């Protein structure tokens, strides 16, 4: 796992994955008390950064693996990323999805040609289900975060952040990243280490689901006590990964956490000031930048807005007066 | 009024106005039956393309004009564009705004440091009010569309469309533009004439407010019979301009019109498939691309999504199931 894998993933993604803009607005700056740059991965193909990791993983398969197909387990964003890449590469695709995933994510995944198998998030083990089906059909499992190619693909986000920060004259800043298992956070951290060493990645998690922050603070992997009870479905995972955690421990700053209501307020602020659509878990980093400015150093902060796949009812809850 | 003015406006805007992305999604393509590219001007600073014209006009003033200040009349988007540019140039700014303008537009304009004077859209003449106040205070009037610098600024959108279309290999396509007085449509048409002659600008208006389409069809300027009764507040204007109309007549294809409910459906589609926020008038061109595909030729269509300044209640009306 190194910067060369990220650069190679960026080369394979060229023209297939979108280069997303870094947005800002006087209105957000006024809330945070400093310049807030938002890396708008909600504008990525499939509506989240997961299209990067999906493309990196599927494009790295050999011909036989591609012909047999791939399988992924995901609450929806990784599913869409893998499904899009699989379709583009002519590979069959099975998605293992929790039965409480947002309807829009299931519908969009199906529209991308994938076969969906639902499971119960509270009583069933998605790892076991995924391993069994992939063995039966000879599918290659594309893990959601603890996979070198997936981390490399997500890390292409960090290459773009480094490039944009250089163009904007930002030498030092915290880069806040909505964090589940740590694939994006670790990938960005590796890219920044090589390309923008003054920028520091920091994971942001839902309060009560701060396994990564606690693991970073203690130096060893801690698990979340539960896996349901937050609206931030995209970033609720059992624990940091075996691959992602050592990278984050070496390179990341301390973790932050935000409440569900802060995520909803960040969604509303992004609606009003940036005219982008964020899902709750995709707004966590922006929520930290806006509502916990005292935990961040520097004149500017960069928040990665990781996704925008949200049902209308949840979005209305966020923007309602 | 020529391409050199547009190129000069682009040079002055460099680093001050955002280069917006051209987005697409498999979901939109499926609705329209062809590839739909969306030039996302809702992601522009101030939430609409009007930041371009505002910057072009204010940056072209001499020192004495800048010190005295500027005045503009606008339902909100032009107001914010002029206010942002005025603040950046240290120029006082007065905005004449209809009393029924969306609250978010008035609030954002005020947040940009402008003084707002409200008028009644049905009973008062904004031109007369604007001329009187600008004479009293020595302000320079920045008209919303019928001004060479404003047309040049809006035309920078067309330079970007031409550049992106070349990169995407699009040699021939209709470019659908949400159209009020025609500043953006005329500016884009001039830019495309010079840089991408196979692309053709076409105005899109709300049904019942199709003054530009009727004027283009007859070859002379027609007025709208009324100025209220559509949710597309941003693109309701009395008639095409004296400067914009001859340009559109020479260069544009036939106009299209869309209903309010089609604009709401386009807002919902943009929410679900592109994760961007559009206002009703900013969704008109996308509505035409999605719901009137038979009126467009070619494998691909480009729709300019002109703005995203919308009150939560109106946005909820669009995305509600």
Question: Tens digit of pLDDT for each residue in B169-186?
Answer: 999 999 999 999 999 999
Which residue of B20, B108, B276 is in closest CB contact with A276?
B276
**Residue B121: per-residue pLDDT:** 81
Per-residue pLDDT of chain A (321 residues; tens, 9 = 90+): 899 999 999 999 999 999 999 999 999 999 999 999 999 999 999 999 999 999 999 999 999 999 999 999 887 899 999 999 999 999 999 999 988 888 878 888 998 999 999 999 889 988 888 888 989 999 999 999 999 999 999 999 999 999 999 999 999 999 999 999 999 999 999 999 999 999 999 999 999 999 999 999 999 999 999 988 899 988 998 999 999 999 999 999 999 999 999 999 999 999 999 999 999 999 999 999 999 999 998 999 999 999 999 999 999 999 996
CA-CA-CA-CA torsion for B297, B298, B299, B302, nearest 10 degrees?
-80
CA distance B86 to chain A (A): 14
Which residue of B23, B45, B84 is in closest CB contact with A43?
B23
- Cβ burial of A15 (10 Å; 0-12, 13-18, 19+) is exposed
Give the DSSP H or E segment for B39: strand B35-40
The Cα–Cα gap between B106 and A82 comes to 43
Flag the least confident range among A224-238, B81-95, B273-287.
A224-238
Which residue of A23, A43, A312 is in closest CB contact with B275?
A43
* CB-CB contact of A152 with A187 (8 Å): yes
* CA dihedral over B119, B123, B127, B129, signed as positive or negative: negative
**Residue A64: per-residue pLDDT:** 96
**Residue A82: per-residue pLDDT:** 97
- Cβ burial of B27 (10 Å; 0-12, 13-18, 19+) is middle
Closest CA in chain A for residue B277 = A275
Higher pLDDT, B88 or A74: B88
The Cα–Cα gap between B118 and B98 comes to 5
* CB-CB contact of A39 with A22 (8 Å): yes
Which residue of A20, A276, A316 is in closest CB contact with B277?
A276
- For the cut 90, the answer to whether the pLDDT of residue B24 exceeds it is yes
B25/A contact by beta carbon, under 8 A? yes
Topology agreement, domain B3-49+148-319 and domain B51-141: yes
**Residue A321: per-residue pLDDT:** 64
Instruction: Give residues with Cβ within 8 angstroms of A30, minimum separation 6.
Output: B111
Question: Model pTM?
Answer: 0.95
Chain A residues with beta carbon closer than 8 angstroms to that of B45: 25
The Cα–Cα gap between B38 and B74 comes to 25
Say which CATH architecture domain A51-141 belongs to: 3-Layer(aba) Sandwich (3.40)
Q: CA angle B133-B135-B138, nearest 5°?
A: 100
A43/B contact by beta carbon, under 8 A? yes
Contact B26 A321 (CB under 8 A): no
CA distance B107 to chain A (A): 11
3-state secondary structure of B170: coil
B103/A contact by beta carbon, under 8 A? no
CA distance A206 to chain B (A): 22
B119/A contact by beta carbon, under 8 A? no
CA distance B174 to chain A (A): 23
Chain B residues with beta carbon closer than 8 angstroms to that of A26: 84, 111-112
Residue extents of the structural domains in chain B? 3-49+148-319, 51-141
A37/B contact by beta carbon, under 8 A? no
- Lookup result for tokens 């391409």: B3
| ipTM of this complex | 0.94
Q: Establish, for the pair of chains A and B, how many residue pairs have beta carbons separated by less than 8 Å.
A: 77
**Residue A284: per-residue pLDDT:** 98
Residue B127 pLDDT class (50, 70, 90 cuts): confident
Contact B275 A309 (CB under 8 A): yes
- The encoded tokens of residue A306 equal 């990781």
Contact A275 B42 (CB under 8 A): yes
Q: Does domain B3-49+148-319 have CATH number 3.30.420.40?
A: no
Which residue of A21, A47, A312 is in closest CB contact with B320?
A312
Average pLDDT over residues B245-268: 98
The Cα–Cα gap between B67 and B81 comes to 18
% residues pLDDT > 70 (chain B): 100
Q: pLDDT averaged over chain B?
A: 95
User: Can you give chain A as a three-state secondary structure string?
Assistant: CCHHHHHHHHHHHCCCCCCCCEECCHHHHHHHCCEEEEEEHHHCHHHECHHHHHHHHHHCCCHHHHHHCEEEECCCHHHHHHHHHHHHCCCCEEEEEECCCCHHHHHHHHHCCCEEEEECCCCCCHHHHHHHHHHHHCCEECCCCCCHHHHHHHHHHHHHHHHHHHHHCCCCEEEEEECCCCHHHHHHHHHHHHHCCCEEEEEEEECCCCHHHHHHHHCCCCCCCCCCCCCCHHHCCCCCCCCHHHHHHHHCCCCEEECHHHHHHHHHHHHHHCCECCCHHHHHHHHHHHHCHHHCCCCEEEEEECECCCCHHHHHHHHCC
Chain B residues with beta carbon closer than 8 angstroms to that of A25: 45
**Residue A21: per-residue pLDDT:** 97
% residues pLDDT > 90 (chain B): 86
């Amino acid at each position: 796992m190194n910067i060369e894998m990220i650069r190679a993933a960026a080369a394979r993604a060229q023209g297939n994955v979108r280069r997303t803009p870094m947005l800002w607005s006087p209105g957000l700056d006024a809330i945070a008390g400093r310049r807030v740059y938002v890396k708008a991965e909600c504008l990525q193909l499939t509506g989240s950064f997961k299209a990067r990791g999906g493309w990196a993983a599927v494009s790295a398969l050999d011909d036989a693996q591609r012909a047999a197909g791939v399988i992924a387990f995901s609450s929806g964003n990784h599913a869409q990323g893998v499904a899009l890449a699989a379709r583009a590469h002519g590979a069959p695709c099975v998605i293992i999805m929790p039965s409480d995933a947002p309807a829009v994510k299931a519908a969009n995944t199906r529209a991308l040609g994938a076969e969906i198998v639902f499971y119960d998030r509270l009583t069933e083990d998605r790892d076991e289900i995924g391993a069994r089906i992939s063995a039966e059909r000879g599918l290659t499992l594309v893990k959601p975060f603890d996979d070198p190619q997936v981390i490399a693909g997500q890390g292409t986000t960090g290459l773009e952040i480094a490039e944009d920060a250089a163009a904007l004259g930002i030498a030092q800043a915290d880069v806040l990243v909505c964090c589940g298992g740590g694939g994006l956070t670790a990938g960005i951290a590796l890219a920044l280490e090589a390309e923008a060493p003054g920028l520091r990645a920091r994971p942001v998690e839902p309060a009560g689901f701060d396994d990564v922050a606690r693991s970073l603070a203690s130096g060893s992997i801690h698990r979340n006590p539960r896996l349901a009870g937050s609206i931030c479905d995209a970033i609720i995972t059992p624990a940091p990964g075996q691959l992602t955690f050592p990278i984050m421990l070496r390179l990341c700053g301390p973790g932050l956490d935000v409440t569900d209501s802060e995520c909803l307020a960040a969604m509303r602020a992004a609606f009003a000031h940036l005219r982008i659509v964020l899902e709750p878990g995709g707004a966590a980093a922006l929520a930290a930048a806006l509502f916990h400015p005292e935990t961040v150093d520097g004149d500017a902060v960069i928040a990665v807005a990781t996704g925008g796949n949200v049902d209308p009812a949840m979005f209305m809850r966020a923007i309602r007066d």
